[in-house]
A and B are shown apart, each in its own frame.
Chain A
């Protein structure tokens, strides 16, 4: 199997990102989606929410206009500080207003099932 120089952002929902999740690891590359709830101009740290879950995003390397209440998607690496505080150091971000979040969540399930089926098929 070929490999790429850049790690892809694994698709995760904010609700999946709890300390027991396999994605909750130092340096994990993730793609997350949520509504912008807070933004600190001094630190460039944003807080996005999806349902009852939230995640801090370090946006200092991005050139994206952030608007409160808008939906954003970020790709970056997880930085975990003790005891269990996570922040995503974003390398790419974009506004995804208009995206159907229910359809997105349902499609993620289908996509993961499909990937798992294909992997099983390849190992047999």
Chain B
């Protein structure tokens, strides 16, 4: 039941939107009886809401649905980071800032992160972002998701 728990599971958006929250842990979800905590998506950035030093909230449209992603940018005012080494925090903040500037409307972005439940909806709390230059990556992502679902995730 937990074999996929720490894997970035490649999911199509329509599949992602059918995940069910896991009672008792808001950072886990169920997909067909298997517990997941991380996911990877790839699609076009169709919305972008930027709050300086707070977050970047954006939407990925992969052609089968839309996934909400949240990239935190609050490293210098979050109590969580105040306990960590300041130079590490600066580096983490710089990486997040770079991701935020990469995420622009219309780009093809590959996003990995944790599944989190916000106001009853499941979203991705972003760990990393790669902007894909090759438009064929969207096709390969669809085929990867189909093959993985059939041969691995659904088994």
Residues of A within 8 A of B (CB): 1-11, 31, 62, 64, 73, 75, 91-94, 96-100, 103-104, 107, 110-111, 114-115, 118, 122
Contacts and interface: CB of A to CB of B under 8 A. Distances in A.
B106 A110 contact: no
B135 A98 contact: yes
A11 B62 CA distance: 9
Contacts of B143: 107, 110
B59 A6 contact: yes
B142 A111 contact: yes
B95 interface: no
A10 B62 CA distance: 9
A62 B105 CA distance: 10
A123 B150 CA distance: 18
Given A75-B61, A115-B64, A6 B136 contact: no
B108 A8 contact: no
26 contacts: A4-B59, A5-B47, A5-B59, A5-B66, A6-B46, A7-B66, A8-B46, A9-B46, A11-B64, A31-B44, A64-B106, A73-B135, A75-B44, A75-B46, A92-B46, A94-B106, A94-B135, A98-B135, A99-B136, A110-B143, A111-B146, A114-B12, A114-B146, A114-B149, A115-B14, A115-B64
Contacts of A96: 135
A6 B122 contact: no
Nearest to A4: B66
B149 A8 contact: no
B107 to A, nearest CB: 7
Interface string B9-43: 00011110111000000000000000000000000
